Structure 1
Amino acid sequence: MRTNRLGGSAAAVSELALGCAALGNLYHPVTDEAAHATVEAAWDAGVRTFDTAPHYGLGLSERRLGAALQGRPRDTYTLSTKVGRLLVPSARGGPGDETDHDLAHDLAHDLAHDLAHGFAVPATHRRIWDFSADGVLRSLEASLERLGLDRVDIALLHDPDDHAEQALREAYPALERLRREGVVGAIGIGMNQSALPTRFLRETDIDVVLLAGRYTLLEQDGLTGPLPEAAARGRSVVIGGVFNSGLLTAPRPGATYDYAPAPRPVLDRALRLQAVTERHGVPLRAAALRFPFGHPSVASVLTGARSPEEVRDTVEQLRRPIPDALWDELRAEGLLDPDTPVPVTAPGGATPSRKEPS
């Protein structure tokens, strides 16, 4: 699997990265064994970049990822985690501090509590927003302890939507200092919007933007700011959310888009996309995986998985040859803007290159 360097940094990423939110019991529980097997399957497929965060299952994702990578030579993989949310013990003390008589009730209460954040874990801790310099250092120190590592390769500001000024003035300089000191290899920002990452690219010296859901086969909002800005400045973009919360894996009534039921016009557009890809013998999810690589700033696509089967299917779809005629028809049908760059298959069906509009 190809690797690409992030901007001018010391960090490199495999073209497919494993997003580890599911390892933190995103929406549904995953066993320790399944989490470990998922990471193993990704490794066996050539994936060498793994992305996690304290937010994912109140640290469970980081603990499981660290355990699964234990024993691997540290210079053979790239690990990314995030800052901006500190985990502090719950005022209730967590279920471990409760009496046996109340334990079942408290577990049910705590489990339901964190499901409000999307994770099926007991709410033994609370998330506290903190984009201060001290918060960055405390967050990374706690992440390293959970991961069982002495360094991370990439540190990202995580969803500073409502904390932009503090993130710019306090958290970013702290990350820049850590990069200068060699504590982290690359720094950046991870969000599911385009405006603030574009501002960071213009006003700071970040290496990478993790852009979730805003540059996909369904919508290309990322072309209005972060992607051209990254290209102009020699920075990199990692694309997450290529399936738009699952809509581009199986578009049907009730499918999710941006973590909510897809509005009818959005669903109809996804169904039209599927009709075109299937006319060319290509599953919609395969086209969705390959599409972002048409842009020269895209270094990697980040996808989540909760089982080895999901990992293997993702790798199979990424390697599936896609005819150039598919992209041409999407443009002809008005489903892609004529100026949107698309990938082309190199001779032998190998490394995708870029195809400019005709």
Structure 2
Amino acid sequence: MIIESTLLNGPLGFGTAPLGNMFRNIPEEEASATVAAAWEAGTRYFDTAPFYGAGLAEIRLGRELVKHRRDEYVLSTKVGRIILDEVVIGPQEFGEKGTLFQYGRKNKIIYDYSADGTKRSIEDSLKRMGVDRIDFVWIHDIAPDFHGDEWLAQFEVARTGAMRVLTKLREEGVIKGWGLGVNRIEPVELMLGLSEAKPQGTLLAGRYTLLDHEHALQRLMPAAEAKGVQIVIGGPYSSGVLAGGSHFEYADASSEILARVAKIKALAQRHSVPIKAAALQFSLAHPAVVSVIPGASKPDRIKEDHDAMKAKIPDDFWRELRKEGLVASNAPLPIDR
């Protein structure tokens, strides 16, 4: 149980994508206060990536983490993209995330899943954060939504490049583990089928939530459990729509999604259940899941997340959620433990 035994202070982590100025221009003092609030609340697992604001999230996270001893927290970042010094005028093409970080740094970002690119990415991340080591490394966004029909070719580059480098680093004890960091289940399934790949875990964003879990539940989770690969859940609020926002899959939520959210919220209100509590505790109920990492860009959101983890949810809420077909009939729930 590599990831589970490494996590400090429980399974609730902090996803730092918002610190890269996701959706809006976040003041420096607000970003710093958010990380500080997470630490004060007891968060000890932090996940970031070079892609988040072209290095901005890593820089902001590092400024706060250097105030603490390195052995007091668990840190993960990602490889697959290199941040260049070159400044780009205008938007860059990144599939569905094309405008997600339009308020981030303007540095040019290139894909690179090769062995040399992986080593360079890790070195750059260490410098940006001002730390001496990274615990877990996820190969980022190697999926159809970012590479179209070329994603399998990019996956092959990662197989012979990033995966082999990270396996060696794991064997040498430089990192504790590696896996994929993706928004789709197809690349994870492909990775699990490789005889030479020995991932310890995978960060799966947005694919095992109250709103979207059917495919992961039926296909990916059983395969991950069989391989002993642990799952970290990112985006448990489905880009924010489950937490009062208007985005789903990084875009404006459709009327169909909003209607489903309304049903879940109505049920939660009848049982006096905070919607965040339902979302986090649902994702964590699956035995393959070891951590959930909601993002935040305001200090008060951190308290909401920690309160949600501690909230007592009546069994009748979960039973009714299942009875009304708002979750898959065989999705593990806290009452099933």
TM-score by length of 1: 0.85
Q: After superposition, what is the alpha-carbon deviation per residue over 1:137-169, rounded to whole angstroms, capped at 9, x for unaligned?
A: 000001101111111001110011122111122
**Maintained 8 Å contact 2:2/2:176:** no
Counting only pairs closer than 5 Å after superposition, residues 245-264 of structure 1 correspond to structure 2 as 245-250=239-244, 255-264=246-255
Counting only pairs closer than 5 Å after superposition, residues 150-165 of structure 1 correspond to structure 2 as 150-161=132-143, 162=151, 163-165=154-156
- The Cα of 1:31 is off from its aligned counterpart by 2.1
- The Cα of 1:331 is off from its aligned counterpart by 1.2
Is the counterpart of residue 232 in structure 1 residue 223 in structure 2? Answer: no
Q: After superposition, what is the alpha-carbon deviation per residue over 1:5-52, rounded to whole angstroms, capped at 9, x for unaligned?
A: 427xx7435411111111121121222222221111111111100011
Indicate which of 198, 209, 217 corresponds to 1:205.
Answer: 198
Distance in 2 (CA, whole Å) between partners of 1:310 and 1:141 is: 31
- The Cα of 1:122 is off from its aligned counterpart by 4.0
CA RMSD of aligned residues (A): 1.8
- The Cα of 1:207 is off from its aligned counterpart by 0.7
The count of corresponding residues between Structure 1 and Structure 2 is 319
Residue 267 of structure 2 is matched in structure 1 by 276
Is the counterpart of residue 323 in structure 1 residue 314 in structure 2? Answer: yes
Counting only pairs closer than 5 Å after superposition, residues 333-344 of structure 1 correspond to structure 2 as 333-344=324-335
Counting only pairs closer than 5 Å after superposition, residues 144-183 of structure 1 correspond to structure 2 as 144-161=126-143, 162=151, 163-183=154-174
Q: After superposition, what is the alpha-carbon deviation per residue over 1:197-248, rounded to whole angstroms, capped at 9, x for unaligned?
A: 1221232210111111111111212113222112112221011111111111
Letter in 1 for 2:138: L
Counting only pairs closer than 5 Å after superposition, residues 86-105 of structure 1 correspond to structure 2 as 86-90=82-86, 94=87
- Matched residue SS, 2:241: coil
- The Cα of 1:276 is off from its aligned counterpart by 1.3
- Matched residue SS, 2:13: strand
Indicate which of 3, 8, 12 corresponds to 1:6.
Answer: 3
**Maintained 8 Å contact 1:211/1:240:** yes
Residue 133 of structure 1 is matched in structure 2 by 115
Bigger mean CA deviation after superposition, 72-81 or 199-208:
199-208
Indicate which of 181, 184, 200 corresponds to 1:190.
Answer: 181
Indicate which of 26, 41, 48 corresponds to 1:45.
Answer: 41
Distance 1:18 1:121, change over 3 A: same
**Maintained 8 Å contact 2:233/2:293:** yes
Distance in 2 (CA, whole Å) between partners of 1:122 and 1:140 is: 19
Residue 147 of structure 2 is matched in structure 1 by none
- Matched residue SS, 1:87: strand
Distance in 2 (CA, whole Å) between partners of 1:30 and 1:118 is: 11
Distance in 2 (CA, whole Å) between partners of 1:261 and 1:121 is: 20
Distance in 1 (CA, whole Å) between partners of 2:169 and 2:266 is: 48
**Maintained 8 Å contact 1:195/1:225:** no
- Once superposed, which parts of structure 1, at least 4 consecutive aligned residues long, lie more than 4 Å away? none
- The Cα of 1:263 is off from its aligned counterpart by 2.2
Residue 303 of structure 2 is matched in structure 1 by 312
- Matched residue SS, 1:238: strand
| Structure 1 residues not aligned, in runs of 5+ | 95-108, 345-354
Distance in 1 (CA, whole Å) between partners of 2:100 and 2:329 is: 39
**Maintained 8 Å contact 2:280/2:309:** yes
TM-score by length of 2: 0.90
**Maintained 8 Å contact 2:2/2:177:** no
Distance in 2 (CA, whole Å) between partners of 1:337 and 1:297 is: 16
Distance in 2 (CA, whole Å) between partners of 1:121 and 1:170 is: 28
The alignment-based identity, stated in percent, is: 40
Letter in 2 for 1:145: K
Letter in 1 for 2:119: L
Residue 124 of structure 2 is matched in structure 1 by 142
- Matched residue SS, 1:6: helix
- Matched residue SS, 1:277: helix
Distance in 2 (CA, whole Å) between partners of 1:309 and 1:69 is: 19
**Maintained 8 Å contact 1:6/1:235:** no
Residue 101 of structure 1 is matched in structure 2 by none
Larger radius of gyration: 1
**Maintained 8 Å contact 1:24/1:119:** no
Letter in 1 for 2:199: I
Distance 1:297 1:37, change over 3 A: same
- The Cα of 1:289 is off from its aligned counterpart by 1.4
Residue 63 of structure 1 is matched in structure 2 by 59
Distance 1:310 1:337, change over 3 A: same
